[in-house]
Structure 1
Amino acid sequence: MSGIQAPKILRRGVWRYLSDRDILVAAFATLFVFVASLGLVYVAHLARVSWLAARAPARAASRRAMLIFGRRLVRDWPESDFAGRLARARTDALAGQAERVFLLGGYSGGAISEAEAGRRWLEAEGWPPAVPLELEQASIDSLENLRHARVLLRERDDEPLPPVWLVTSRYHLARCLYLARRLGFDAEPLAAEERLPLRGRYLARLLMEAGYLMWIDTGMRWAALTGNRRMATRIS
């Protein structure tokens, strides 16, 4: 078992970015676009998030490396969404569809990292010893997850990235896929749930993810329009 480690980091979520000038500019640009379009651009992003959430496969169709996205722990143990992601990866690993598996997630307030909690969960449930598990413990959001995974996947900087499955909850797939493809991954989504749950908490997550995706996409478009290289290189 190997991976990237980091000191414990407690700040995470949208609020940690509000001291960053570029991200604040992207937020104001997103608000302007939302108002100017009468919400239609947001609706388009919501449709994108919802379509992928509903249509993504729940079985790996080919053998690839897998990236499992972590989530905040409950008493140092994976909560239901994270456990679902781990269970999906375990099922496909047992079916021979995983070359390597990367557990992504740093410290979110507990005594251990999300990645370490994921490893313990998988080993408690029974993990095939032939499939290597690697831990990425230095990140606290999806973009950092993918940046660090990109380092782990390559032995050399000029080496092409291998194809990967992005294993996460259905509501989270669109954002992860958007970021992964901008970072140069040959990535495909793999949903934790068999089908899209239609309950209040899950619908709220879809609404939030559409907002996050609109914020990121608007920021990247604003960076391209204004020639802001610093902002553009955040996801490259």
Structure 2
Amino acid sequence: MSGIQAPKILRRGVWRYLSDRDILVAAFVTAIAFAATAGLLYVAHVARVVWLATRSPASAPSRRTLLVFGRRLVDDRPEADFRQRLARARDDALAGLASRVYLLGGFSGGSVSEAEAGRRWLLGEGWPRAVPLALEQMSIDSLENLRHARVLLRERDDDPLPPVWLVTSRYHLARCLYLARRLGFDAGPVAAEPHVPWTPRYAIRLAMEAGYLMWIDTGMRWAAVTGNHRMAARIT
């Protein structure tokens, strides 16, 4: 794993997509839908994000494969949100609730992948040897995380996907669950934090996630209405 060479660092976040025609069309349609509904469409997505953030369990309800989402590293080490996700996976693994664990995250800056940095943190904090720990190191966003995890979880293309728990920060759960289910996962959410920390920073994160989710969902609905199979195939 450690012998993997770091590829060229790609730009993260919304800005990396602004040269993509389909995504720009989705953004334009989303803006029209936002205006046409006087913002109510966005409010509905805020409610969806907040509902899942507040209602999701803080531990795996049953034994499954865990998919742990990474975050951009700081000095090649997991930052606070990522450490919470890793700690949740470790606690569930120690409790016998993880059949195996995949750490998701490629090279987003620095000399190691997010997944490799997560592996080092877990081994340093005490990882149960009986639970297999695997790395997905080729992605830099949540959709790529799940696409690559889908390949890793199957020995053959026609094999069924095992049920999984998605382990991530509460603000991030709604988007990950939406993407996972569109990609064919039998997935459920597991929150990294014991509860939602109602701070200004966290409120901003929830608001941003609602915007991302509205953009993705509206784009997929537009693709279905217009028969744009190329756009729809992005999340199938």
**Both proteins in one fold, TM over 0.5:** yes
Following superposition, the deviation at residue 6 of structure 1 comes to: 6.6
CA distance in 2, matches of 1:5, 1:208: 32
Q: Which residue of 2 is the match for residue 80 of structure 1?
A: 80
TM-score w.r.t. structure 1 length?
Answer: 0.97
CA contact (8 A) 1:5 1:136 kept: no
Q: Secondary structure at the match of 1:230?
A: helix
CA contact (8 A) 1:85 1:168 kept: yes
Q: Within 5 A, what are the aligned runs for 1:80-229?
A: 80-229=80-229
CA contact (8 A) 2:30 2:215 kept: yes
CA contact (8 A) 2:6 2:113 kept: no
Following superposition, the deviation at residue 5 of structure 1 comes to: 7.9
Following superposition, the deviation at residue 99 of structure 1 comes to: 0.6
Q: Secondary structure at the match of 1:74?
A: coil
CA contact (8 A) 1:8 1:106 kept: no
Residue 27 of structure 2 corresponds to residue 20 of structure 1:
no
- Tell me the alpha carbon deviations over residues 36-78 of structure 1, each in whole angstroms, 9 at most, x when there is no partner: 1000000000000000000000011110000000000011000
- Tell me the alpha carbon deviations over residues 105-147 of structure 1, each in whole angstroms, 9 at most, x when there is no partner: 0111111110000000000000001111111010010000000
Following superposition, the deviation at residue 182 of structure 1 comes to: 0.3
- Tell me the alpha carbon deviations over residues 62-105 of structure 1, each in whole angstroms, 9 at most, x when there is no partner: 10000000000011000000000000000000000101100000
CA distance in 1, matches of 2:224, 2:232: 7
CA distance in 2, matches of 1:234, 1:213: 15
CA contact (8 A) 2:6 2:111 kept: no
TM-score w.r.t. structure 2 length?
Answer: 0.97
CA contact (8 A) 1:6 1:137 kept: no
How many residues of Structure 1 are paired with residues of Structure 2 in the alignment?
Answer: 235
- What amino acid sits opposite 2:64 in the alignment? R
CA distance in 1, matches of 2:14, 2:59: 31
Q: Which residue of 2 is the match for residue 38 of structure 1?
A: 38
Give every structure 1 segment of 4 or more consecutive aligned residues whose post-TM-superposition deviation is greater than 4 Å. Answer: none
CA contact (8 A) 2:6 2:112 kept: no
Instruction: Give unmatched runs, 5+ long, in structure 2.
Output: none
**Identity %, equivalent residues:** 79
